[in-house]
Chains A and B, each alone.
Chain A
Amino acid sequence: MTLSKGNLFANLAAILVCFIMIFPVFSTIVLSFKQQADVSHEPPLLFPCNTETEDFNLTACRFFVEGYERIISPKEDPDTLFGYKIDGRIINTYLPNTVFYTISTALLVTMFAGLAGYVFSRYDFPGKHLIMIGILAITGIPLLTNLLALFQLVVDARKFSAPFYEAWQASDTFSEDTITSMRNWQDRILLVMIYVGFFLPFSVWIVKSFFDAIPLELEEAAYIDGASPYQALTQIITPLAMPGLVASFLLTFVGVWNEFIANYLIVGSSKPALRGAIVGVYDLTGNNLINYQVLAAACVLVMLPVVLVFLFTRRTFFNAMTEGAVKG
């Protein structure tokens, strides 16, 4: 393609848009490597590279990892593998929580959406259209309006299970630490189940559209060869539907990783041990004395994994989203 005048203009416009979309992320990364003196410098500095005579001198750049140190807070501890232990709650508690919530929700959603999407694509039964439209309508319902009831459900579940824990504690079946951790795991699992129910409807539709694209003849050939419905599903259809399942996994992954309000309100505000990374970052600003390079470092640490996942799998994202929105 030749670079006509119109295309030159279009390229410039596209580069400008890219700049607007990327620059805030980039400058947050730069901010996270500044020291306090440069953070509060007036007028504000993009790069901490000014000298008394020059605005920008590459050799004068002052980059520090102070922000990350404050988030990670490594402490010397000869008992651990590398001689350090990590004291920062974002790293030692909140990020592992997020990883657990994210991976387990994405796996369960993908599995259940795969099964349901297959049925919707291949079987016919009374009430099917109604159920499908219902599920499509539910994709627009936010977590927000159900939060009060879900909160109440979790409280009820805690009340229901409390006598068991008390009995175990009274009879010394488990130590107190074990019981605390069991109570926490109960809440974590409940939160994952809430996420599964919330992210399922969208994934069902994504996966169904991928199943629809697989020719029925392949299955029929399998039946002729004597396969059972179960074998046809696991050995013929599932491998072909893999791109759809991967898309469901990734979209759920990003959604749960970034979820804030349910994690914060249902479990996180009362129990810090259950907070995910986003709630952890929000928690940092609870006291207004937070240094900006520290907040920026926390933001970078929390957004980095999900940005990397996206960059490596972007084609799947684009396919799934245009598939679901324009065609579906």
Chain B
Amino acid sequence: MHAIRRQSGFFARIFPFLLLAPALIFIFFVQLYPGLYTFYLSTRDTEGAVSKYIGFKNYDLVFNSAIFKESVVHTLIFLVGYVSLTLIAGLLVALVLNRKLRWSGLYITLIFIPWVLSDVIVGYIWKLYADPGSGLLSPFFALPILGLNGDPLLIASPPESYFEGIPFPPAPAMYYVIFAAAWKALPFTTLLLLAALQTVPKEVTESARIDGANHRQLFFNITLPLILPTLLVTLFNLTLGGMNGVGMIFSLTGGGPGSATEVLSYLLYSIGFGQLNFGRAAALSVVIFAVNLTLIILSLRISRSRAELI
């Protein structure tokens, strides 16, 4: 932390606030004010020509709609699949790259390319792969062992659900969305975990090895606890990103087949901008926002290094 510098004169005193002002003004108008306005909107019936106050009825309507419950389950399935797949794959790749291979720089550069692509483009790349007939993966999806019975992957309907009213197990398209999203998120996860692995002191692992620890003990007792904070922060980042990313659903499945890949963020779009019901969409926004905020607060608590920095 740096020392406070005291200077006399009115200009010198307001100087820092002048520098800060543009950033704070923009953040206020794009982040804070819209947040408050969305809350205001969520308490109003916007379907008439003039909106009127209806209390928390919009929340009632959202919570009690069948599509909301279905979307929550879709979102949970997506998040569990996407976050665990990305974290495990990212950790494995980071462990490989941490061996200081001669071409590590080249590998990480190549691996990183999907990260700079747009969600929408990534969705198209994988959609083209799954196209029945011309898609390069279509012969694979036609294999009898996958049980699609000749249906195209993105159109095959979900299997009969185990529990009444809960869309589980998901449609085949959901697995594909999870895979495509993990493909795009893998680079960033790998980079963060690699950076964390490189902060594990060599002396610690060396001395443990001399004491006779094997690879598995070394990983679970030394490396994993040391990178756990980064792992958790990454987990929260992935959950946040996964919950709010919608571009890939747009281009890859459009929420289909039926509504089988309709996650909460896509539902928000379809209520707000498809049905043009702003009040109800605002209520859903507030719900998503509240979940986001909880995740952020948890992430800030866990990441103690960030707190120390402040």
Evaluate whether A25 and B37 lie within 8 angstroms (CB atoms) in the complex, with A39-B134, A140-B292 already known: no
Inter-chain contacts of A39 with B (CB < 8 A):
134
Give bound CA distance, A259 to B188, whole Å. 17
Find out whether the CB atom of B15 lies under 8 angstroms from the CB atom of A149: no
- Which of A46, A212, A327 makes the CB contact (< 8 A) with B136? A46
B7: interface (CB < 8 Å): yes
Inter-chain contacts of B292 with A (CB < 8 A):
140-142, 145
Find out whether the CB atom of B100 lies under 8 angstroms from the CB atom of A325: no
Give bound CA distance, A281 to B121, whole Å. 8
Inter-chain contacts of A122 with B (CB < 8 A):
2, 5, 16
Find out whether the CB atom of B4 lies under 8 angstroms from the CB atom of A200: no
Find out whether the CB atom of A148 lies under 8 angstroms from the CB atom of B139: no
Inter-chain contacts of B220 with A (CB < 8 A):
none
Give bound CA distance, A152 to B135, whole Å. 41
Find out whether the CB atom of A129 lies under 8 angstroms from the CB atom of B7: no
Give bound CA distance, A281 to B281, whole Å. 26
What would 12 more interface pairs be, CB under 8 Å, given A25-B117, A142-B292, A200-B27?
Answer: A13-B96, A21-B110, A24-B129, A44-B134, A131-B24, A138-B31, A144-B265, A260-B120, A295-B128, A321-B191, A327-B305, A327-B309
Seen from chain A, the residues whose Cβ lies within 8 Å of a Cβ on chain B are 1, 6-7, 10-11, 13-15, 17-18, 20-22, 24-25, 27-28, 31, 39-44, 46, 111-113, 115-116, 118-119, 121-125, 129, 131-133, 135-138, 140-142, 144-150, 152-153, 193-194, 196-198, 200-201, 204, 209, 212, 216, 229-230, 254, 257-261, 265, 269, 278, 281-282, 285, 292, 295-296, 299, 302-303, 306-307, 309-311, 314, 317-318, 321-322, 325-328
User: Which positions 78-117 of chain B face chain A at CB distance < 8 Å?
Assistant: 93, 96-97, 99-104, 107-114, 116-117
What are the 7 closest A-B residue pairs judged by CB atoms, nearest first?
A: A197-B30, A149-B34, A258-B118, A142-B244, A116-B23, A322-B195, A146-B34
For B122, give the chain A residue with the smallest CB separation.
A24
User: Which positions 1-58 of chain B face chain A at CB distance < 8 Å?
Assistant: 2-5, 7, 12, 15-17, 19-20, 22-24, 26-27, 29-31, 33-35, 37-38, 41
Find out whether the CB atom of A216 lies under 8 angstroms from the CB atom of B112: no
Give bound CA distance, A260 to B123, whole Å. 12
How many residues from B make CB contacts under 8 Å with A?
102
Find out whether the CB atom of A1 lies under 8 angstroms from the CB atom of B247: no
- Which of A18, A44, A133, A193 makes the CB contact (< 8 A) with B133? A44
Find out whether the CB atom of A1 lies under 8 angstroms from the CB atom of B102: yes
Identify which of B41, B99, B121 gathers the most chain A CB atoms within 10 Å of its CB. Answer: B121
Find out whether the CB atom of A40 lies under 8 angstroms from the CB atom of B37: no
B76: interface (CB < 8 Å): no
Find out whether the CB atom of A40 lies under 8 angstroms from the CB atom of B124: no
Give bound CA distance, A11 to B97, whole Å. 9
For A276, give the chain B residue with the smallest CB separation.
B118
Nearest Cβ in chain B — how far from A300, in angstroms?
9
Inter-chain contacts of A129 with B (CB < 8 A):
310
User: Which positions 290-304 of chain B face chain A at CB distance < 8 Å?
Assistant: 292-293, 295-297, 299-300
Inter-chain contacts of A314 with B (CB < 8 A):
109, 112
Find out whether the CB atom of A198 lies under 8 angstroms from the CB atom of B120: no
Give bound CA distance, A145 to B29, whole Å. 14
For A327, give the chain B residue with the smallest CB separation.
B305
Identify which of A22, A113, A254, A326 gathers the most chain B CB atoms within 10 Å of its CB. Answer: A326
Nearest Cβ in chain A — how far from B21, in angstroms?
9
Inter-chain contacts of B108 with A (CB < 8 A):
318
Inter-chain contacts of B269 with A (CB < 8 A):
261, 265
B222: interface (CB < 8 Å): no
Inter-chain contacts of A200 with B (CB < 8 A):
23, 26-27
- Which of B96, B121, B230, B305 makes the CB contact (< 8 A) with A10? B96
21 residue pairs A–B, Cβ–Cβ below 8 Å: A14-B96, A17-B111, A22-B110, A22-B113, A40-B134, A42-B134, A43-B139, A44-B133, A44-B134, A116-B23, A129-B310, A133-B310, A138-B31, A141-B296, A149-B35, A193-B26, A197-B30, A200-B27, A201-B31, A321-B191, A325-B233
For A43, give the chain B residue with the smallest CB separation.
B139
Find out whether the CB atom of A1 lies under 8 angstroms from the CB atom of B100: yes
Inter-chain contacts of B187 with A (CB < 8 A):
21
Find out whether the CB atom of B195 lies under 8 angstroms from the CB atom of A326: yes
Inter-chain contacts of A269 with B (CB < 8 A):
273
Inter-chain contacts of A43 with B (CB < 8 A):
139
Evaluate whether A325 and B195 lie within 8 angstroms (CB atoms) in the complex, with A144-B246, A278-B120 already known: yes
For B264, give the chain A residue with the smallest CB separation.
A144
Inter-chain contacts of A1 with B (CB < 8 A):
100, 102
Give bound CA distance, A131 to B93, whole Å. 37
Give bound CA distance, A321 to B192, whole Å. 8
Inter-chain contacts of B112 with A (CB < 8 A):
310, 314, 317-318
Nearest Cβ in chain A — how far from B73, in angstroms?
19
Inter-chain contacts of B35 with A (CB < 8 A):
141, 145-146, 149
- Which of A46, A230, A265 makes the CB contact (< 8 A) with B273? A265
Find out whether the CB atom of B268 lies under 8 angstroms from the CB atom of A144: yes
Find out whether the CB atom of A115 lies under 8 angstroms from the CB atom of B22: yes
Evaluate whether A148 and B113 lie within 8 angstroms (CB atoms) in the complex, with A1-B102, A25-B125, A216-B2 already known: no
Inter-chain contacts of B240 with A (CB < 8 A):
140, 142
